[in-house]
Structure 1
């Protein structure tokens, strides 16, 4: 979005994989080290190293007008080298330690409390991150809500071609695959459905949560895993699905209750029906837009999906297709607005 909005972007950060994604690699980022899921101590030490020795980063970003940090660790690093330039903080997740009560949580919250007052602009993707967290923290900067909408070319909305209403029905679980409770639920659903329910899984499994995800999926009847995907694969993936699984019990009641994930907007952009819990932020978003398959608890989802008919699928699809494109899609106009807002950051008191 930044480049499409007219900004020149200089990248630096930690890498999770041995091979960078092509979109990142072609921008030739400065690599600060390796990161991994559930490796908090290693991440803290790597962050501290950059905070204490920021000279290389200062040279790397010497010609940049604005410094933007995409998580709390990066905010600490950015604070050490930003100087008098505007500092933008983008927060797309609230880690459990930021809302916990233990010693480690209080330590992380203390760090956040020291860093937030220096931010000139907060960018976040869900209003619940503001109401449930940042509104109660020492943040003086204005906030900008940038939802995780599907980014398309200006004036070129993707065709909505939902799967033909029928049984067996197909549920898609896409994205970052890190919720073991979701896997267990969908596994049991696929087994109990005895062919009435198919589960299509695609994305990047967390090695910390699923040491051998492909093998685990391969043992489940009526469930298949297609591996990682790209933006270009989305129409085909969602086009195979009647429903899209948006429930995430990872950090249940915390981050998962506050976020508005990419898969919500992607599903509706292609005419799939999001499955969501009614009493969390995703459910509230869908309620406002009169769309989605909302349930109060997993047992309700299991019971109703096993009894789903083509007629009800068609009715739910009709409501999904009625959601306005601008509510789920972003284009160059949104990109330019984002860059303009970042460019105006910096009026610190």
Structure 2
């Protein structure tokens, strides 16, 4: 059984739980180590008791660097007693910085770098950006694989800017379903109900909230917005107070992924698949979890022209695309929207079925096998499926 040491920046991140589930379903044994974020309580993840490396704070990059430096000094003792890993999977740059030190504790252990978002500081042209890219290049020199979630990250960042010279593995942010593929749900809407847009997951984009607030007020109750997930309170002046003042927007708290996905997406008609958090860069390139989750559960994605999300939606002939980010554009797009229009658009989504949006046990096994291939002796070729054309994006295993 492949022994994986998974180093993570935020032990409470739901995506960490999904990755642990995926590794376990693929046949790996997982040791989890990482940082507690803010006041989030440390808890077991799928039967795996995490090794706590310290605490970090959201949107406090300097504090996170100090926490990583402190963890580096105590890492050897913190990892004492755990099984020797066959592979180290390091999620995000700060964990990549610790991966080499962890590997040296056990001798020669291959490293895979998991990077599912490109932080805005990595893209700056000044001293800070150059220093961080230099650090990524330095710590990434030992990486045998880069795992990322969107072909646009490879095309626009990793190849031209990062300096890491390792193979890429595209692992899209698909929905993890281990117990067989179910059909796309049948949609029925009670007459007279408002249309509902679901914005689920990491709630961190203030511009999206401003846009949806203005839009729902323009539509005077014909449209509502439901928020679920983890708000990044550091990105809003007063998130709870703001939501309380919105007549057509409500926040319904966290949810379990993937257990609660059918229920929460079944209660909305559309998925808000637009993100301005790293506007002009990461937000243009990412393929978010909510795109796959919504499509798998029958909620039509709303996307913005010029983004990787819109490209995928256009390629597959689904969703509703906006030409710009003005409330008037969004209101105009839905001005004459009715049940017949929705049914026609939903039929396009239903024709694709569930498979394009899913990861199953075979996908999990393929990912674990890809990690296992990193153990091969130098000079021995590993079986590896080349990255397909960036224009097709047809990779089932994966990850965004």
Q: Once structures 1 and 2 are overlaid, which stretch shifts more, 280-289 or 10-19?
A: 10-19
Taking the aligned partners of 1:276 and 1:95, their CA distance within structure 2 comes to 21
Which of 246, 250, 256 does residue 273 from structure 2 map onto? 246
1:216 shift after superposition: 1.5
2:12 corresponding residue in structure 1 = none
Q: Once structures 1 and 2 are overlaid, which stretch shifts more, 198-207 or 13-22?
A: 13-22
1:22 shift after superposition: 5.3
Which of 208, 217, 227 does residue 182 from structure 1 map onto? 208
1:103 shift after superposition: 1.8
1:93 corresponding residue in structure 2 = 117
1:146 aligns with 2:175: no
1:164 shift after superposition: 2.3
Normalised by the size of structure 2, how large is the TM-score? Answer: 0.83
Deviations 1:96-142 (A, max 9, x none): 11111122111111101112221011111111111111112322221
Which secondary structure does the structure 2 equivalent of 1:311 belong to?
Answer: helix
Which secondary structure does the structure 1 equivalent of 2:277 belong to?
Answer: coil
Which secondary structure does the structure 1 equivalent of 2:30 belong to?
Answer: coil
Contact 1:238 1:267 in 2 (8 A): yes
1:274 aligns with 2:274: no
Which secondary structure does the structure 2 equivalent of 1:224 belong to?
Answer: strand
Taking the aligned partners of 1:259 and 1:20, their CA distance within structure 2 comes to 29
1:32 shift after superposition: 1.1
Which of 6, 15, 38 does residue 36 from structure 2 map onto? 15
Q: What 5-or-longer segments of structure 2 have no aligned partner?
A: 1-21, 380-400
Taking the aligned partners of 1:191 and 1:70, their CA distance within structure 2 comes to 40
Which of 303, 308, 317 does residue 290 from structure 1 map onto? 317
Change (3 A) 1:165 1:139: farther
1:264 aligns with 2:291: yes
Deviations 1:140-186 (A, max 9, x none): 22111111111112423265233528662111111100000011111
1:59 shift after superposition: 2.1
1:312 aligns with 2:341: yes
Which secondary structure does the structure 2 equivalent of 1:208 belong to?
Answer: helix
Which of 232, 243, 255 does residue 282 from structure 2 map onto? 255
Taking the aligned partners of 1:332 and 1:313, their CA distance within structure 2 comes to 33
- Mapping for residues 1-349 of structure 1, pairs under 5 Å: 1-20=22-41, 24=45, 26-59=47-80, 61-83=82-104, 84-136=108-160, 137-157=162-182, 159-164=184-189, 168-210=194-236, 212-231=238-257, 232-299=259-326, 300-346=329-375
Normalised by the size of structure 1, how large is the TM-score? Answer: 0.94
1:33 shift after superposition: 1.2
Which secondary structure does the structure 2 equivalent of 1:10 belong to?
Answer: strand
Contact 1:162 1:241 in 2 (8 A): no
Taking the aligned partners of 2:46 and 2:40, their CA distance within structure 1 comes to 8
Which secondary structure does the structure 1 equivalent of 2:181 belong to?
Answer: coil
1:305 shift after superposition: 2.2
Deviations 1:24-53 (A, max 9, x none): 274211111112221001000111222344
Taking the aligned partners of 1:294 and 1:74, their CA distance within structure 2 comes to 36
Count of paired positions: 349
Contact 1:162 1:272 in 2 (8 A): no
1:15 shift after superposition: 1.1
Which secondary structure does the structure 2 equivalent of 1:120 belong to?
Answer: strand
1:317 shift after superposition: 1.1
Q: What 5-or-longer segments of structure 1 have no aligned partner?
A: none
